[in-house]
Amino acid sequence: MKPVSKSDAVLASIKSRTGRSIARGEDGFIDPTMLSFDVGICRRKVRIILTTAASQGLVEQKSQGPGRPCFFRFIGVDLTT
């Protein structure tokens, strides 16, 4: 079995959390701190992975303004349900 990379684990976790958030009627944006607990790496590395994924078009990034944390959601999740 091939070991899962940290970036793959982060993307799988955000996909799962985005889906659950949308199912609860929320907007699907997730705080990177929550993902750091899921994957077991520091919040800064999670943000770096998600920012890179956002530049590649895999996730959507929502900025809260200068000096405030960004939130992310996976783009491939159906938002109409």
Residue 51 lies in a domain: yes
Amino acid at residue number 76: G
Q: Which domain holds residue 57?
A: 6-74
Q: Kind of pairing, strands 71-74 and 59-62? A: antiparallel
User: Apex CA 21: angle with CA 18 and CA 23, to 5°?
Assistant: 110
Residue 80 has pLDDT above 90, yes or no: no
Q: Is the pTM of this model over 0.95?
A: no
**Distance from C-alpha of 53 to C-alpha of 67, rounded to nearest angstrom:** 21
Residue 48 lies in a domain: yes
Greater pLDDT, 72 or 77: 72
Residue 80 lies in a domain: no
Number of domains the chain is built from: 1
CB 6, CB 42: distance < 8 Å = no
pLDDT-derived band at 42 (thresholds 50, 70, 90) equals: very high
* Domain of residue 67, CATH code: 1.10.10.10
pLDDT-derived band at 81 (thresholds 50, 70, 90) equals: very low
